[in-house]
Structure 1
Amino acid sequence: MRWQGRRQSDNVEDQRGEGGGGFPGGGRFRIPGGSGLRTAGGGGFSGILILAAIFLFLKFCTNIDPMQILVDSGGGQLVPGQTQSDTSVKNNDETTQFAKTVLAETEDVWSGIFKAEGQTYPAPTMVLFSDQVRSACGFASAASGPFYCPGDRKLYIDLSFYDELDKKFGASGDFAQAYVLAHEVGHHVQNLIGVLPKFNQMRQNMSEAEANAMSVRVELQADCFAGIWGHFTEQKGILDVGDLDEALNAAQQIGDDTMQRKTQGYVVPESFNHGTSAQRSKWFKRGFDSGKLDNCDTFSGSI
C-alpha cells in the first residue's frame, strides 16, 4: 500500500503512556444508547437499517447479558505482547503515521459516500493507547484488541496489536493492518446509520445464542464496509499487488473458527460472534468488489 506522503488525519488522541485507570459505571464493551444519523429516504443506508430492524423484530425474543459486539478483530482474544512498561512512546513513528494516514483515507471515502446520500459524514476520533484505556463504554485493556465505542464515537487501538497480528496470527502486511482500522470505522458507520442503536435496543430481548448470531451479522457488515473502503482506495491507485490477499488472509486468520482452534483446539459454533474465516473474507471481498452499500446487507438471508 503506497501510503507515504498522503494526508494524515488530525482526528487522533494519543494517550499512550498515560494509563487508563478505572471508569465508573460501565463494562468494557457495553453499548450505550445513541442516536443514529437521519437518512434520506430510499437510500442504501435506510434500506439496510429497515432490513436490520425487520430481521431483529421477527427473530429474537429473550434475554442476554449484552457484551461482545464491539471487541473487534478476534472477539477480544488477541493479546498484544507489549505493555505500558516496555513501550517507548514515539508520537510520530512510522506505525503512527500509517494509522493516521489510513484514518484519513477512510474519512475521504466515507465523506464521499455520505455526500452522495445527501448527508454529512461526522468522522470518528482514533484513540492511541498503551496497556489500558478509559472510554464511554468503560475500561478496556490492550488484551481486548482494537474496538469502537458508539458512546463517544471513538475507535481505540494499541498499535502493538499489529505485532501480534503478524507474529502470532500470521496476518502480515500493511493492508492487513489497514483492514483492522477500516473494520472499526465500519462500526462507526453502522452507529451513524442506526444499526448499532437498533441492536442495542433489541438485544435486551435476545437469548445469548440469538445475540451471538446477530452479532455475527453486525460484524460481517463491518467487514463489508471495510471492503467498500478498500474498493475506493484501490481506485485511487495506491494499492500494491498482493494487498487484497493480505486483507483476505487477515480476515481468515481472525475468524471465530480459526481463532478457537488456535486458542482451545476445538470450535463452538454457537459461541461465534464475529463470523467464520470464510464468512469474514467473503463479506470483505463482497464490499471490495462492489463498493456498494446495498451489497452489504447481512441481515436478510444466509450469510
Structure 2
Amino acid sequence: MTQPFPPRQQPYPQQWGQPQGWPAQPSQPGWNRSQPTFGQPSWPQQPGRQQPGGFQQPGYPPRYPQQPGGFQQPPQRPRGGNPLGKVLMLLVVVCCLLLAGVIMANMIGGTGGTSRPVETYTPPPPDMDPPPLPAPKTYSEATEWMTKNPIYQQSTTIPTDCNNLKPIDALNASEDELNAHLQDLTACLLKVWHGPVEAAGYQLPRPPATVYNQPIQTACGKLDSVNASYCGGDQRIYYAKPLPKIFPKELQNTKFLMEMILGHEFGHAIQARTGISISSSAWEQRVSTKAEANVFSRRLEVQADCFAGMWINAVARSQNLDDNDLENLRTIAYNLGDDVLSGKPNIDSGHGLGDTRKRWFTTGLTGGPAISQCNTYTPPDSQVR
C-alpha cells in the first residue's frame, strides 16, 4: 500500500541528495542516462553477490561402439513352436503391460494430468537481524539495477505447493489469528521467491511480519491504522487488521484478499533485496519535478502488483483458487488505484490508476513463470500511468 521508501525520507544512513563537490545535476535529467560516479559515499557495501553463472552444457558420453562381427541368424524352429517358449513370451508381455500401467499412474498422479512438485525447501524463521540491503554506487549503476536486474533472468516454479497455508476470514479473524496466518503466509511467499532471488545472486532473508490494530511507529515513520507496508529501514512487513474495510462492502470478504495485499508488500521486499527499491528511489529524488518523481514511484508499485500476481499464479492450485476467485482479485487490484481511492479520475500520484494496477497484476497472474514480464522500468511512462 504505502511506498516502502518514502521520497526524500530514506531509511538509510545517507540521503541520495547532492552533497558539496558532487557533479551538478543536468538541466533536464533523464532517468535512463548514464551519470558520473558519486565519488566515495558512505553507503553500506553490497553483500558479495555471486553473479548467476550459466549452466555448463553437460557432455554426453560417447556412443557405445558397435559390437564386432554380425549376428548369426538363429536356426529356424520347427513348426508348432516350443510351448514353454510361448508361456515365457506371454509372461514378458504381461510384465510389460503392468510396468506401463505403473508409469502412467505415476504420470497422472490424480492431479489433472500433471505431476505435483516435490517440496524440498523449508523456509527459515523470520530474520530479526537481516544483512544490509544492497545499494548502487552510481546513478548509472542504479539504472542498470532497475532495467537489467539479474532477477529478470529468473523464473518461478508453477505450481508451488503451500498446503500449510489455510484459508482465513481476514475481515472477522482476531489479531492473534491474523498474526499466526501471517507467519504461514510469509513462509509460503518465501517458497516461491527464494529460488529465483538467490539464483540472481542476492540474499532473501525471511522478513518479520506484524499485524497491528492502531497507528504504529516503524523505522520508516508512523503507519496509520488502515495500511499495509514493507519498511526497508527495518526490513519488516506490517499489516493493519481493519484493512479490508477500505474496499466496497461487497469485496471485503473476497477470498485471498489479505494474501494478495501481503503478496504486494513481499514484492517490495524482493525489490529491496535486489537493489531495485533504492535505485528507483534515488532517481525519484534526483528528478526536478513531482510529476517525474511520480513515474518512478508508480514503476515500483505496479512491479510489486505484478510480483503479487506471479506468486498467486504459483500457489493458486494448492489454495483452490478458481477463475471467479482470480477475477475478484483483479477487481481488488483495480480498487487500489489512485483514482478509485481518491475519487479523482485524472489524479497524478504515486501508485497508478486502477486500470493500470489491474493490468500489471493480471500480467503476473497469467503470464507464466518468467520474471522478466514484471520489468516495469523499460516500458514507456504511459504504461505505468
TM-score (norm 2): 0.54
2:207 to 98, 101, 124: 124
1:292 aligned to 2:373? no
- Cα displacement (A) at 1:287: 1.2
- The code of the aligned residue for 1:31 comes to Q
1:52 aligned to 2:146? yes
Whether the 8 Å contact between 1:29 and 1:149 is mirrored in structure 2 is no
2:176 to 89, 92, 107: 92
SS of equivalent to 1:142:
coil
1:175 aligned to 2:283? no
Partner of 1:154: 236
- The code of the aligned residue for 2:176 comes to N
Distance 1:116 1:135 in 2: 31
- The code of the aligned residue for 2:231 comes to C
- Cα displacement (A) at 1:27: 8.1
1:191 aligned to 2:272? yes
Partner of 1:82: none
SS of equivalent to 2:334:
helix
| CA distance 1:53–1:111, shift in 2 (3 Å) | closer
Partner of 1:218: 300
> Whose Rg is larger?
2
1:40 aligned to 2:117? no
Q: Which deviates more, 202-211 or 151-160?
A: 202-211
- Cα displacement (A) at 1:241: 4.3
SS of equivalent to 1:131:
coil
Distance 1:256 1:298 in 2: 18
Structure 1: gaps spanning 5 or more residues: 1-25, 55-87
- Cα displacement (A) at 1:100: 3.0
Distance 2:8 2:317 in 1: 35
Alignment of 1:3-152 (within 5 A): 30-33=9-12, 38=49, 40-41=51-52, 50=144, 52=146, 90-93=174-177, 95-117=178-200, 119-143=202-226, 145-152=227-234
SS of equivalent to 1:122:
coil
- Cα displacement (A) at 1:118: 5.1
1:250 aligned to 2:338? no
Whether the 8 Å contact between 2:10 and 2:220 is mirrored in structure 1 is yes
Distance 1:197 1:29 in 2: 11
Partner of 2:82: none
Q: Which deviates more, 104-113 or 30-39?
A: 30-39
| CA distance 1:41–1:202, shift in 2 (3 Å) | farther
| CA distance 1:202–1:53, shift in 2 (3 Å) | farther
- Cα displacement (A) at 1:199: 2.1
Distance 2:231 2:361 in 1: 21
SS of equivalent to 1:147:
strand
- The code of the aligned residue for 1:50 comes to E
TM-score (norm 1): 0.67
- Cα displacement (A) at 1:259: 1.8
Structure 2: gaps spanning 5 or more residues: 13-42, 55-135, 149-171
Q: What is the percentage of aligned positions where both structures have the same residue? A: 26
How many residues align structurally?
A: 235
Whether the 8 Å contact between 2:202 and 2:273 is mirrored in structure 1 is no
- The code of the aligned residue for 1:123 comes to R
Partner of 2:310: 228
| CA distance 1:239–1:204, shift in 2 (3 Å) | same
Distance 1:181 1:117 in 2: 23
Distance 1:183 1:189 in 2: 10
Distance 2:53 2:300 in 1: 21
1:267 to 345, 358, 374: 345
Whether the 8 Å contact between 2:281 and 2:296 is mirrored in structure 1 is no
CA RMSD of aligned residues (A): 3.3
Whether the 8 Å contact between 1:48 and 1:297 is mirrored in structure 2 is no
